[in-house]
Amino acid sequence: MDVLQGLGSGFEVALQPQNLLFVTFGVVLGTMIGLLPGLGPTAAIAVLLPLTFGMDAASAIIMLAGIYYGCMYGGRIPAILLNVPGDASSVVTTLDGYPMAKNGRAGPALGITAIGSFTGGTIALIGLTIFAPIVAGWAAQVGPPETVVLSAAGLLLVTLVSTGSTIKALLMAMFGLLLAAVGLDMISGEPRLTFGSFEMSNGIDIIPLAVGLFGLSEVLYLSEKRMRGSQTLAKIKGILPNKEDWRITRTPILRSSVVGFFIGIVPGGGGVLSSIAAYGLQKKLSKDPERFGKGAPDGLAATETADNASSNAAFIPLLTLGLPPNSVLALLFGVLMMHNVTPGPSLIEDHPEVFWGVVASMYIGNLLLLVLNLPLIGAFVQILRIPMGLMFPFVVVIAFCGVYSANNQLFDVYVAAAFGVIGYLLKKFRFDMTPVILGFILGPVIENGFRRTMVMSDGNLAVFFERPGTMIMIVVLVGIVVSIYGVLARRKKLTQAVDVVEP
């Protein structure tokens, strides 16, 4: 199946009425949730994931992907209007977005964000459409040793680029990998780390884990803070950028689309890293860099474009290699597995309707985001007035139903509550939880691959350094680590800013 034919069949799936409805629902709901300071895409998807149980795999991912990029855009609105970033990557948005709003240019700032996000997202989608089948074709040739190295490298990269201390991120990765090892051993059937519990012998389900760690922990964390709705919003008028804005933002938008795309492919590279890299590059190339931080539209455009481009590009490693590069896509990985669809090289061949349907729906979702947000921005921002104290109790009730519906057992609810408390404590003690969920997802892949490699090589560990595929991956990994070093150093400065604006 060639690319155009595949994309055509994908649009057939994505344009089915129910899928159009799901993507629209996802984008609108995602934007609304993204608007609520604190509740990011991971928490939203974790809590809403059980809604997809009754859907087929393609529809489930179409809706959740819509929530994902809706949330990403929605999170920019409070960052621009209130200087309240919902997540680390929107801290960079506040640098020029909020000054623009303060200067009476909130409308154009939101307009530039929407247009930049749309352009970046679309360019990344074109890249996804062209490159994903090529990467999948290559990945289909690799054996267990390459799978182990690739997955371990992905986890390592995410650990390296996660927020805060690297040692803490490493501990989180180990914790996630250990959680995945709980239950019956896949080869011998021996119970591992179950501590005599019958329920634990089935292993830990991703739903209670995700809802607890990302949903309930967030509610607990935010429950400590003042929970009022925002009363003072900057006035929004004239959402479309003026001629001068168009002139100075068009090149940064195109450039940042490419930057965001390539950074997004690297595990851990999406979001904050791509935003910082694009912002830094734009500032470096600007003739008058002193404007940056004071409401420079090109700075804002670079950040937002790269962020959305990287979010879409992140689907390449998920769909072609089975390697989720961030916590949201780790959850989508879990959803696909729940629907008996294994993300990876064989996805395009085995489930073309899922792969191409999701890609096509992303084109539609991206367009919807632009079409809905430009005229409806005034309505969306009213959500910022809803008090958090009225929203969070409902998150608790919905989370309960969602977790219970996974296996219809209360044990899962207790597990979710426990992980909610653990997640809250981890946040308080400044542990980034992304490596936990990635470790949990990649744990069985790495262990399985390792054991198969050992059987295949008769216990020869040198096999990891003798095969050309693994050697290339190790060299590429070292290259990536070196090249992101500069971005990491720049990110370190911003980490303090994230701490200061912690909601």
CB-wise, 263 or 498, nearer to another protein?
498
Candidate residues 279, 315, 356, 404; the one interacting with another protein per rule CB under 8 A:
404
Does residue 396 touch another protein according to CB under 8 A? yes
Strand-pair partners of 192: 183
Per DSSP, the residues of 95-150 read HHHHHHHHTT-HHHHHHHHHHHHHHHHHHHHHHHHHHHHHHHHHHTT--HHHHHHH
Candidate residues 126, 405, 490, 497; the one interacting with another protein per rule CB under 8 A:
405
Kindly report the length of the chain.
503
Short-list 488, 442, 439, CA closest to 163: 488
CB atoms within 10 A of CB 342: 15
Q: Which of residues 324-383 bind another protein (CB under 8 A)?
A: none
CB-wise, 224 or 288, nearer to another protein?
224
CB of 68 to another protein, least distance (A): 21
User: Are 419 and 212 contacting, i.e. CB atoms less than 8 angstroms apart?
Assistant: yes
CB-wise, 188 or 232, nearer to another protein?
188
Spatial distance between the Cα atoms of 263 and 255, rounded to a whole number of angstroms: 13
- The pairing of strands 191-192 and 183-184 is antiparallel
Per DSSP, the residues of 52-86 read GTTS-HHHHHHHHHHHHHHHHHHTHHHHHHHS--S
CB of 140 to another protein, least distance (A): 26
Query: With CB under 8 A as the contact rule, which of the stretches 137-145, 354-362, 369-377, 411-419 interacts with another protein?
Result: 411-419
Query: With CB under 8 A as the contact rule, which of the stretches 3-11, 101-109, 233-241, 409-417 interacts with another protein?
Result: 409-417
Does residue 386 touch another protein according to CB under 8 A? no
User: Are 268 and 157 contacting, i.e. CB atoms less than 8 angstroms apart?
Assistant: yes
Candidate residues 17, 141, 195, 287; the one interacting with another protein per rule CB under 8 A:
195
CB of 430 to another protein, least distance (A): 5
Residue 420 has which token pair?
């909610």
Q: For tokens 């830990």, what's the residue?
A: 204
Candidate residues 3, 170, 370, 374; the one interacting with another protein per rule CB under 8 A:
170
CB of 470 to another protein, least distance (A): 18
Does residue 50 touch another protein according to CB under 8 A? yes
User: Are 110 and 77 contacting, i.e. CB atoms less than 8 angstroms apart?
Assistant: yes
Does residue 168 touch another protein according to CB under 8 A? yes
Site for another protein (CB under 8 A): how many residues? 69
CB-wise, 291 or 452, nearer to another protein?
452
Residue 277 has which token pair?
């890299």
Candidate residues 7, 9, 25, 53; the one interacting with another protein per rule CB under 8 A:
53
Q: Which of residues 430-489 bind another protein (CB under 8 A)?
A: 430-431, 447, 450-451, 454-455, 458-459, 461
Does residue 262 touch another protein according to CB under 8 A? no
Spatial distance between the Cα atoms of 135 and 113, rounded to a whole number of angstroms: 30
Per DSSP, the residues of 409-463 read -HHHHHHHHHHHHHHHHHHHTT---HHHHHHHHHHHHHHHHHHHHHHHTTT-TTH
Candidate residues 11, 131, 262, 414; the one interacting with another protein per rule CB under 8 A:
414
Does residue 225 touch another protein according to CB under 8 A? yes
160-173 b/e (C-beta count within 10 Å ≥ 16 → b) = bbbbbeeebbbbbb
Spatial distance between the Cα atoms of 22 and 67, rounded to a whole number of angstroms: 10
Does residue 21 touch another protein according to CB under 8 A? no
CB of 77 to another protein, least distance (A): 18
CB of 498 to another protein, least distance (A): 11
Candidate residues 62, 313, 323, 413; the one interacting with another protein per rule CB under 8 A:
413
Query: With CB under 8 A as the contact rule, which of the stretches 51-59, 110-118, 364-372, 479-487 interacts with another protein?
Result: 51-59
Short-list 183, 184, 199, CA closest to 411: 199
Does residue 408 touch another protein according to CB under 8 A? yes
What's the Cα-to-Cα distance from 298 to each of 257, 303, 381, rounded to whole Å? 13, 9, 23
Q: Which of residues 172-191 bind another protein (CB under 8 A)?
A: 174-175, 177-178, 181, 185, 187-188, 190
Element housing 333 (H / E): helix 327-338
Spatial distance between the Cα atoms of 395 and 215, rounded to a whole number of angstroms: 8
Candidate residues 254, 258, 374, 398; the one interacting with another protein per rule CB under 8 A:
398
Rg (CA), the chain: 22
Candidate residues 17, 54, 375, 468; the one interacting with another protein per rule CB under 8 A:
54
Amino acid at 43: A
Spatial distance between the Cα atoms of 246 and 261, rounded to a whole number of angstroms: 22
Candidate residues 21, 130, 227, 471; the one interacting with another protein per rule CB under 8 A:
227
SS3 267: coil
Does residue 224 touch another protein according to CB under 8 A? yes
CB of 83 to another protein, least distance (A): 11
CB of 62 to another protein, least distance (A): 18
Residues near another protein, by CB under 8 A: 50-51, 53-54, 164-165, 167-168, 170-171, 174-175, 177-178, 181, 185, 187-188, 190, 192-193, 195, 216, 219-220, 223-227, 387, 389-390, 392-394, 396-398, 400-402, 404-405, 408, 410, 413-414, 417, 420-421, 427-431, 447, 450-451, 454-455, 458-459, 461, 499-503
